[in-house]
Chain A
């Protein structure tokens, strides 16, 4: 058999089938597009923690795909009591109310304590150091006003398709929020 010659009829039949399949494929893709497009949004979405659902399980510090978690502790100053004995800053039973590491709760010393006026102190988070472990959040929530809470920081978050922390979140607190309103902050009004 001469390999250089092929039957033209078979070629055109194959061509016809292929054209048909292509048309079907395009139609299918178009159909899928139509089905999905009505549920789609022009805006992007990002991951965020609902502070009302957070149970401070510590997974945020452990499961983020980043070396240092994109989840950080943030401070709603308007809810803070400016306590001298901050239970988010100090161990439950501190020896002394000073900045000695043995008295402090934070494993990375990421909370800064600043004297404002007698007897008030302000607490700020150094996000370079914070690992999002929620130990201070637990302290503040158990004893205090809950002004410390966790948020996904979007200058760090890679916005993974499926957040590795959300998958293991004990409080089911992660959810996708619109990218133009990317925070679920605690505020002074309810």
Chain B
């Protein structure tokens, strides 16, 4: 009753618009339907499924060491996050929402999106790129079509593996300035999940999928910006994927098992002479790093003005400046004419807003450019640093935890009871201890 009274009070405060006619026949006005948006609980269901899948993947990789289990999980993830949820919400895109939330105080970041950003990263800090293994629909799709893996030359591989970091920087720059979500816009697989999209993106998605048959996970390795973050997190992971459940017998059977170029072979400590030369070079590279940062920053600043035109307000201001003096059009207007018409209602506001955005882009350009320099510098340095290694082991940053290499290890086969333990005793006299998780 009180509610009714309140409602009528509110209605009497608001001014009534001119009403439709009173129908003699008593016709009742239909009500405009409002189909509800997707229920909030379903968003949290997505988060729950993500969490469960991550947990399951950890168990499958580290406890069961089961490739088959991961394939089943991949298919599930592909169906659920890919084809059922149309690839949205996804962890890859969520990094832009986080960047926008950092850049724009008025943007309210949905908690579910934040969870999609944080959960895989938190897992990666402890257990490596578990998310890539069988939870990410993008990874699952590429992994499942990988039929005939070819090896990418190591130089090209290393060069291309820089790209995700650059893409990450660009994605954050454009998202934080509120210009565009380029990672979503140029996502090649979402059109596949949706079975519709712009022709260009459908085409590039198909091309990348075709490439995935021969080159293992090209998007994950050479583009995925979220993968770049996961790579950083996984590099310090507590638990790492090990090919053997036990001691490595140096049988080299697993050498060519990784289709993603993540397998590192044993490396001897370099001789004193090469060591000294490497140290000298490293010194030069460390000196070069600030130069790379400064140079990159300057270049980024120079390109910030054209890049800012991706922001709709800046491009509108551009249009406004170019159209100055030209008479207003009458008749059929194009969308550009209409936008211009809107800009002409408040030209000073538009120009001021555009100038503010360009200032932010200038700062962002410096940061992005310095980031590019940093990425190249660090890559150069890491190429120059030789870390002695005794066993064949996957690089924890590059490893997708796909569990393929496990089946190549004779020790694993013994553990599974596929071959009797006696076949190994000659080669490896000291098999002992339970299979451990924490061996680095």
Partner pick for A189 among B17, B43, B97, B197, CB 8 A cutoff: B17
Question: Would A25 and B37 be within 8 Å (CB), given that A65-B196, A161-B88 are in contact?
Answer: no
Name the interface residues of B9-30: CB closer than 8 Å to any CB of A.
11, 14-21, 23-25, 27, 29-30
Binding stretch for chain B, among A87-95, A101-109, A164-172: A164-172
A39 vs B31: C-alpha distance in the bound complex, in angstroms? Answer: 36
B266 with A3: CB separation less than 8 A: yes
B171 CB to nearest chain A CB (Å): 11
Asked whether any CB of chain A lies closer than 8 Å to the CB of B268, the reply is yes
* Among listed B67-75, B332-340, B359-367, interface-contacting one: B332-340
Given contacts A21-B236, A40-B108, contact A65 B197 (CB under 8 A): yes
Does chain A have a CB within 8 A of B185? yes
Majority SS at the chain B contact face: loop
- 9-residue interface stretch from B53-61, B110-118, B132-140, B205-213: B110-118
Q: Are A190 and B14 in contact (CB under 8 A)?
A: yes
Is B110 touching A120 in the complex (CB atoms < 8 A)? no
A3, A80, A188: which contacts B16 (Cβ < 8 A)?
A188
Closest to A55 in B: B338
Q: How far is the CA of A39 from the CA of B98 in the complex (A)?
A: 10
Asked if A189 and B14 sit within 8 Å, CB to CB, the answer is: yes
**A82 with B21: CB separation less than 8 A:** yes
Q: Is B436 part of the contact surface with A, judged by Cβ < 8 Å?
A: no
> How far apart are B176's CB and chain A's nearest CB, in angstroms?
12
- Is B437 part of the binding interface, using a Cβ–Cβ cutoff of 8 Å? no
CA distance A24 to B390 in the complex (A): 28
Q: Is the CB of B15 within 8 A of A35?
A: no
- Residues on B with C-beta less than 8 A from A160 are 88, 184
User: Is the CB–CB distance between A25 and B11 below 8 Å?
Assistant: no
Closest to A41 in B: B108
Bound together, the chains give a CA A179 to CA B110 distance in angstroms of 10
Segment with Cβ contacts to A, from B99-107, B281-289, B290-298, B322-330: B99-107
CB distance from A124 to the nearest CB of B (A): 7
A37 to B102, CA, bound (A): 10
Contact A44 B236 (CB under 8 A): no
Write out the residue numbers on chain B whose beta carbons fall within 8 Å of the beta carbon of A185.
32, 34
Question: Which residues A150-176 have CB closer than 8 A to chain B?
Answer: 153-155, 157-162, 164, 167-168, 170-172, 176
Q: Which residue of A lies closest to B196 (CB)?
A: A67
Q: Given that A26-B125, A55-B341, A161-B97 are contacting pairs, would A179 and B32 also be in contact in the complex, using a CB cutoff of 8 Å?
A: no
Number of interface residues of B (CB under 8 A): 79
Using CB atoms, name the residue of chain A closest to B42: A44
Which residues of A have CB within 8 Å of B33?
Answer: 74
Does B273 count as interface, using CB distance less than 8 angstroms? no
B residues in contact with A189, CB < 8 Å:
11, 14-17
Closest residue on chain A to residue B99 by CB atoms: A36
A66 → B minimal CB distance (Å): 6
Interface string of B73-94 (1 = CB under 8 A from A): 0000000000000101100011
| B110 contacts A45, C-beta separation under 8 Å | yes
Interface string of A9-37 (1 = CB under 8 A from B): 01100110010011001100100110111
B233 within 8 A of A: yes
B342 close to A172 (CB less than 8 A)? yes
Complex: chain B residue closest to A57, CB-CB:
B335
Report if B36 contacts A (CB, 8 A).
yes
Residue of A nearest to B333 (CB): A57
Alpha-carbon distance between A119 and B221 when the two chains are bound, in angstroms: 67
A76 at the interface (CB under 8 A from B): yes
The complex places the Cα of A120 from the Cα of B237 at a distance, in Å, of 72
Contacts of B34 in A (CB 8 A): 182-183, 185
Whether B180 contacts A167 by the Cβ 8 Å rule is yes
A53-78 interface (Cβ within 8 A of B)? 55-59, 65-67, 74-78
- Chain A residues whose CB sits within 8 angstroms of the CB of B96 once the complex forms: 161-162
Asked if A35 meets B40 with Cβ closer than 8 Å, knowing A22-B238, A29-B122, the reply is no
Name the residue of chain A whose CB is nearest to the CB of B31: A77
Distance, CA A179 to CA B261, complexed state (A): 44
Known: A44-B43, A187-B17. 4 other contacts (CB 8 A): A39-B107, A117-B27, A155-B35, A189-B14
A residues sitting closer than 8 Å to B (CB atoms) are 1, 3-6, 10-11, 14-15, 18, 21-22, 25-26, 29, 32-33, 35-37, 39-46, 55-59, 65-67, 74-82, 116-117, 120, 122, 124, 145, 153-155, 157-162, 164, 167-168, 170-172, 176, 179-180, 182-183, 185, 187-190
Interchain Cβ contacts under 8 Å between A and B, 30 examples: A1-B268, A3-B250, A10-B388, A29-B125, A36-B101, A36-B114, A39-B108, A39-B109, A44-B37, A44-B38, A46-B37, A55-B338, A57-B338, A76-B32, A79-B20, A116-B25, A117-B27, A120-B23, A154-B37, A158-B88, A161-B94, A161-B181, A167-B185, A168-B312, A172-B312, A172-B339, A179-B37, A182-B34, A190-B14, A190-B16
Which B residues fall within an 8 A CB radius of A?
11, 14-21, 23-25, 27, 29-38, 40, 43, 86, 88-89, 93-94, 96-98, 101-102, 105, 107-112, 114, 118, 121-122, 125-126, 180-181, 184-185, 191, 194, 196-198, 232-233, 235-238, 250, 266, 268-269, 312, 333-336, 338-339, 341-342, 388, 390, 440
The 4 lowest CB-CB distance pairs between A and B, nearest first, are A162-B181, A155-B35, A189-B14, A57-B335
